[in-house]
Structure 1
Amino acid sequence: MKRLAVYCGSASPADPRYIELAAEVGRGLAERGIGVVYGGGRLGLMGAVATGALQAGGEVIGVIPEALVSSEVANRECTELHVVPGMHERKLAFTELSDGFLTIPGGVGTMDELWEAVSWAQLGYHSKPVGVLNAFGFYDQLLAFNRHMIEVGFIRPAHAGIIIAEHELDLLLTRMAAHEPHTPIFAMKADDL
């Protein structure tokens, strides 16, 4: 994996562990020679990931919608900053520029990005690993809900392992690097669906 799209919040929660985690993830990726592709902002966890990676000498590619550039939240310190028309183009760029997806804590936008990466993997628009860093148990309930969807039958057995979740970055990256693509829906016959 040469580059990972990092999905995370643009907010700065009161608990400082979240900002510290984001900086550690950016630094950790840079130290492993893995470039960061992210939302291009300078605020919150997004800014901390970028700063951590840049301070460790890593590559940081920001992808930000025009509306956010005009709001003055763009991180001009990025190795590259791509300005795109909107959120759809932003998420497509994340997919095109990265070798996988790494989700750390965040809010609604982060969930949108994560679930699109999962959905696109399930369908067959990409075959890249989708990782969730479940630091501090932040994603316990999301992962439980994902298991519930599997148990009920809304996620097929072939797609049950799309989300790769771990509590520690090293273990998560190891599992993501070992990712084996599954059979996507586009390659299945109607009887398999």
Structure 2
Amino acid sequence: MEISKVSVFCGARLGNSDKFREDAYTLGETLANENVELIYGGGGLGLMGAVANGALDAGGDVTGIIPTVLVDKEMAHPRVKNMKIVDTMSIRKDMLIDEADAIIILPGGAGTMEEFFQVFVGGQIGHAQKPIALVNTDGYYDSLFDLFESFIENDFLERRFLDLIIKLDSIENVLDELKQFRPVAGRSREDIENGHHD
């Protein structure tokens, strides 16, 4: 599939590993070098700032989408020219998802997970299914996949939906992986009634 715009969800903090920041910066560079527009949450701090810096330093196109409350707290990236200021976090999240051809998830916290789960659940019900690459830097998301196994074991998730997620240990070849994404059939009433409760 053709990918010209990618939304990156990641932490507004740097985390405690230099590898997190290095991956974020390199991802921004990679997107710019491949002429793929970076769409992200508009922040200038943490991994968000790092991915934007990587793209900007390499001359890439960057669009930030940020709510007014964070602009007021001076968290917007000062170098991002194409900054869309919105009223709420919810509107921001919807725009980040809607405007991208694909999604890349880097390490982050609760906000990153909220964004990820909205895309993941949308894919399960067959709404706007988009490729999701989840970058598992240094095993950061291993516990998330353990949680998915618990969902499956307890019949709240069908295993086939894990095919919606491209799990990567590094950002190498991330765009190639996204381009090879194949849609998964969305959930039906029959799936649920026949014991596939997710």
TM-score under structure 1 length normalisation: 0.92
The structure 2 residue matched to 1:166, chosen from 164, 168, 188, is 168
Instruction: Spell out the pairing of 1:148-159 with structure 2 (5 A cutoff).
Output: 148-159=150-161
Decide whether aligned partners of structure 1 residues 18 and 157 sit closer, same or farther in structure 2, where only a CA change above 3 A counts. Answer: closer
Q: 1:18 — aligned with what?
A: 20
Seen in structure 2, the aligned counterparts of structure 1 residues 46 and 117 have a Cα distance that, compared at 3 Å, is: same
Q: Secondary structure at the match of 1:170?
A: coil
Contact 2:19 2:137 in 1 (8 A): no
Aligned AA for 1:2?
Answer: S
* Separation in 2, partners of 1:69, 1:173: 31
Distance (Å, rounded) in 1 between the aligned partners of 2:68 and 2:169: 34
Query: In structure 2, how many angstroms separate the alpha carbons of the residues matched to 1:147 and 1:33?
Result: 37
Where does structure 1 differ by over 3 angstroms across 4 or more consecutive aligned residues?
A: none
Identical amino acids, percent of aligned pairs: 33
Corresponding residue of 2:87: 85
Do 1:150 and 1:160's aligned partners in 2 also have CA atoms closer than 8 Å? no
Question: Alignment RMSD, CA only?
Answer: 1.4
Deviation at 1:52, TM superposition (A): 0.3
Aligned length: 190
Q: Quick one: which of 101, 110, 119 aligns to 2:103?
A: 101
The answer (yes or no) to whether the contact 1:3–1:34 under 8 Å persists in 2 is: yes
Distance in 2 between residues matched to 1:164 and 1:33, nearest whole Å: 21
1:181 counterpart residue number: 183
Q: Could you tell me how far 1:79 is from its partner in structure 2?
A: 4.1
What are the Cα deviations for residues 20-53 of structure 1, in whole angstroms up to 9, with x where unaligned? 2211111111112211111100001000100000
Instruction: Pick one of 5, 8, 11 that aligns with 1:6.
Output: 8
* 1:110 alignment partner in structure 2: 112
TM-score, with normalisation over the residues of structure 2? Answer: 0.90
Partners of 2:144 and 2:43 in 1: CA distance: 25
Counterpart of 2:132 in structure 1 is 130
